[in-house]
Amino acid sequence: MGDIKVVTRFAPSPTGFMHIGGVRTALFAWLWARKNKGTFILRIEDTDKAREVEGSIEHIIKSLRWLGIDWDEGPDIGGLNAPYLQSKRLDSYKKYAQILIDSGHAYPDPYTKEELDTFRKKSEQENKPFLYRDYRPKDFGVWDGTRALRFKTPEIKSYHWNDVVRGDLSAGVEALDDFILIKGDGYPTYNFAHIIDDLEMGVTHIMRADEFISSTPKFLSLYEALGITPPIFVTLPPILADGGNKKLGKRDGAKDILDYAKEGYLPQAMMNFLVLLGWNPGTEKEIFTEGELKEVFDINRIQVSGAQVNLDKLDWMNKEHMKKLLADEIQNNIFSYLPEEFQNEKLVGVVFERISKWSDVKSMIEAGELDCFSKSKTPHYDKTKLVYKNSTPEKITQNLKSVIQALEALNENDFTMENVKNTLMLIAEIEGNRGEVLHPVRYALSGKDKSPDPFIIASILGKNETLSRLQKAI
C-alpha cells in the first residue's frame, strides 16, 4: 500500500449475537490491518433503534475477544476518532447534512406516507420501478429536523467501480435514487452514516458482505457530492451451509459464535476455520497460527464464489490445534469435564485420542464410553460374545484361566499397563492366536464391542477388579 497507512473497521449493528459470517468479516478486516501494521477500529452502528437488541454490544465485544481479535480504537477503549457508537456521533452527521443542504445536495422530504404510497401505486400502474427521484419536489423547503432529509442524486449516470474481490463492477442509472440521509427520528441511515464515519476515521478499506453491492452506486454518488475519494471496496463472498448451496442454517453456523466456545472449540481453531471461508493462502497449508495469518493474509486472495461451511473440517482443525497444546493444558481441560473417579493421568491419552473438542469428553461419558474404567460399574454383556470368531467356549475359558494365572503372579504395585501388556502378549504368543487371548480379556473387562485396549483398562481398574472381571467371565 505504499506509504498510506491501512485503516480498517468492523462495524456491526447491535441487533443480536454474532454468527460465523459477522465474525469472518471482522477477522478479515483485522488481519489486513495487522498485516499492514495499520489500525483496526470497532464501530457500533446503532442508528436503527427499532432493531437494537439489548446486550448486543457486550456480546459482540466478548465474541471478538474470545477469538483473539483486538482493536486499536473502539467504544470500550476510546481513540482518536471517538465516539465509536453512531448514536453518539449525531453532530457529525448533522454537520455533513448541512454541507449537503448548502451545496444543494440534500432536501427535506415534503411527502406524507400516504402521498408516497400514491406515487408508488402510480409507478406500479405505469409498470416501472418506483424511484423517489421521479417525484422529487421542485422547491426544497427548509429542513427543521422533524422530516426525513433526502439526498439529491447529483447526476443520474451509470457507475463503474472496482472491488478488490469482484474486479470491475458497474450499474446502470436505475441503481441511483434520492435516498434518505437522516430519518425523521433524527438518526442517520446506514447509507449516510457509514460514509461519514469512514471519512472521519480515515478508513482505507471496507470489508463487508455482498448485500451492499447493489447500494454501492448510491454510495458513490454521495462520495462524489462530498468530494471524497471512496475507500477501497473488499466484498466478501457469501457463506454457504454445510453440504449445499443454501443459506447458512442453525446447524452450520448461523448460531452464536460463543456457542462454539461453550462447546469447547479453541479460539485459535475457530480463527483458522473462519479465515479459510473465502480466502486461501495459495498453498496446500491448512493449519495456521494467529501469528502466521498476520503475515500471510492477503485480500488479493479472497475468492468470489461462496464459501461452504464444513463442520467436520472445523472438528478436524480443532483437533490439530489441540495437538499443539501443552500436555498440562490438555490434561486440565479434559479433567474439567471428567468426574473425579476418572481423573487419572493414564486416562488422558485414551480420552484425547477420541475427542475433537473438549465437550466431546462429556459426550463420551454420557455414551458410557468410560464406564469400563469404573470399578463400581461391573459390565453386563452377552457372554457368547466372549468367544472370538471361530474359537470355542472351551478354548476361551482355557485362555482366560492362563491369563488369570499369569496376572496373579504380578504384585499389585507391578500391575502397570506395560507389565499387563507384556504378560498378555507372552500368552498370546504361546497360544499362537492373539485374538483368542486379547479379545475375551478386552470384552470381559469392558463389556463393549468397542473399547480401549485391555492393557489400559486393566491398569486403571487395578489387579483385584481386573481379576474379578476375568473370573466372572470364566
Q: What residue ranges bind ligand GLU (CB under 6 A)?
A: 11-13, 45, 190, 194, 208
- Cβ closest to ligand GLU, residue 12 vs residue 278: 12
Q: Rounded to a whole number, what is the distance in angstroms from the first to the last CA of the chain? A: 77
Nearest to ligand GLU of 93, 352 (CB atom): 93
Beta carbon nearer to ligand GLU, 52 or 431: 52
Nearer to ligand GLU, 12 or 447 (CB): 12
Please, is 133 exposed, middle or buried when counting C-beta atoms within 10 Å of its C-beta (0-12, 13-18, 19+)? middle
Of residues 219 and 358, the one with the C-beta less far from ligand GLU: 219
Find the shortest distance in angstroms from Cβ 47 to ligand GLU: 9
Nearest CA-CA partner of 83 in 91, 184, 208, 54: 91
3-state secondary structure of 410: coil
Q: For residue 83, is the peptide bond before it cis, meaning its omega torsion is within 30 degrees of 0?
A: yes
Task: In whole angstroms, give the CA distance from residue 226 to residue 157.
Answer: 17
Nearest distance in Å: CB 9, ligand GLU? 7
Least distance from ligand GLU to the Cβ atom of residue 75, Å: 14
Smallest distance, Å, CB 44 to ligand GLU?
9
In terms of phi and psi (left: phi > 0; alpha: psi -120 to 50; beta: otherwise), the region of 140 is beta
Residues 6 or more apart from 274 whose CB is under 8 A from it? 20, 23, 24, 27, 67
Please say which residue, 216 or 272, places its beta carbon nearer to ligand GLU.
216
Residue among 190 and 316 whose Cβ is closer to ligand GLU? 190
Q: Residue 73 has which C-alpha cell? A: 480504537
Instruction: Write down the least CB distance from residue 231 to ligand GLU, Å.
Output: 10
Q: Which is nearer to ligand GLU, 111 or 190 (CB)?
A: 190
Select from 470, 441, 436 the least CA-distant residue to 453: 441
Rounded Cα distance between 46 and 85, Å, is 7
User: Shortest approach of ligand GLU to residue 45 CB, angstroms?
Assistant: 4
Query: In whole angstroms, how close is the CB of 235 to ligand GLU at the nearest point?
Result: 10
Interatomic CA distance for residues 118 and 111, integer angstroms: 10
At its nearest, how many Å lie between ligand GLU and the CB of residue 227?
A: 21
What minimum distance in Å lies between the beta carbon of 18 and ligand GLU?
10
Name the strand (E) or helix (H) holding 107. Answer: strand 106-108
Minimal distance, residue 242 CB to ligand GLU, in Å: 23
Bridge partners for 240 per DSSP: 247, 308
Instruction: Give the DSSP per-residue string, 190-248.
Output: HHHHHHHHHHHTT--EEEEEGGGGGGHHHHHHHHHHHT----EEEEEPPEE-TTSSSBP
Asked whether the beta carbons of 278 and 237 are under 8 A apart, the reply is yes
Q: Smaller CB distance to ligand GLU: residue 207 or 351? A: 207
CB of 179 to ligand GLU, least distance (A): 15
Taking the least distance from each CB to ligand GLU, the nearer of 86 and 331 is: 86
Q: Which amino acid is at 202?
A: G
Per the CB < 8 A criterion, the answer to whether 43 and 190 are in contact is no
Nearer to ligand GLU (CB atom), residue 135 or residue 190: 190
**Alpha-carbon span 31 to 34, nearest angstrom:** 5
DSSP 47: -
